[in-house]
Amino acid sequence: MNLTVSEENYIKAIFHLQQAEGNVSTNQLAASLHTKPASVTDMLKKLTHKSLLEYEPYQGVRLGKEGKKQALSIVRKHRLWEFFLVDKLQFGWDEVHDVAEELEHISSKKLVDKLDAYLGFPKFDPHGDPIPDSNGIMATIRQFNLIDVKPKVVVEVCSVGSQSAELLELLRHKNIGIGTELQIIRKFEFDHSVEISVKNKPTITISQQLAQALFVKLV
């Protein structure tokens, strides 16, 4: 099933809007895609014809089985590229979205799977959203990037960004591992470093790079 960039963007938008409730409305889609309702209706008909959607005129739309599969593939690519941009190319976590919007449409499955392996099969992207694996399965508990957590909050480390030797060494040195509880003390604007307290011991400071590699959940 080969989709155009435009078709992929519709599938992705429906996927994101569908999350909580059932059907997605034409107007919601038009707003989300910065297009007009009439254009949406056209595309819904086309994608329904391709068996990607379940759509009844005037009743909104939801993804069909094949549509879900396609959506997960696009989301997987988007989030893997975001991870790559932050972890390898030193982009800030807040400047990767637009580039990933372009990269997610590169079609090679082999590329995506090799990228995934190269990155160490990360489970969460730099915004804390789960990355579907090559079978479309992803974690359900939402995690946060440590750098996004507000001061005073207590969190528990769930996973780390990559399995690189350098990162693991640094974590051991700082006594941080999966399951470690820590409290955010304060954040410094200048270099985005974060002051934390691990297991109620004296505070330490960790760099922006390290904070971005830690995924946590609220406790």
Partner DNA sequence: AATTATTTTTAGGTAAATCTAAATAATTTA
Partner DNA sequence: TAAATTATTTAGATTTACCTAAAAATAATT
* Candidate residues 37, 64, 120, 136; the one interacting with DNA per rule CB under 7 A: 37
**Which listed option, a second copy, DNA, none, makes contact with residue 38 (CB within 5 to 8 Å by class)?**
DNA
Residue 164 touching DNA (CB under 7 A): no
Piece in contact with DNA (CB under 7 A), picked from 19-27, 154-162, 181-189, 194-202: 19-27
**Which listed option, a second copy, DNA, none, makes contact with residue 27 (CB within 5 to 8 Å by class)?**
DNA
Structure tokens at 22: 């059932």
d(CA 92, CA 102): 17
**Residue 165 half-sphere exposure, CB side, CA atoms within 13 Å?**
0
Residue 212 touching DNA (CB under 7 A): no
Piece in contact with DNA (CB under 7 A), picked from 14-22, 31-39, 67-75, 163-171: 31-39
Residue 108 touching DNA (CB under 7 A): no
Give every CB contact of residue 155 below 8 A, 6+ residues apart in sequence. Answer: 144, 146, 149, 181, 182, 183, 184, 216, 217, 218, 219
Site string for a second copy, 106-135 (x = CB under 8 A): xxx-xx--xx--x-----------------
In order of 5, 56, 132, the CA distances from 122 in angstroms are 25, 38, 10
d(CA 192, CA 44): 44
Helix, strand, coil shares, percent, the chain, to 5: 40, 15, 40
- Interface contacts to DNA, rule CB under 7 A: 4, 6-7, 9, 25-28, 34-46, 55, 57-58, 60
- Interface contacts to a second copy, rule CB under 8 A: 85, 88-91, 98-99, 102-103, 106-108, 110-111, 114-115, 118
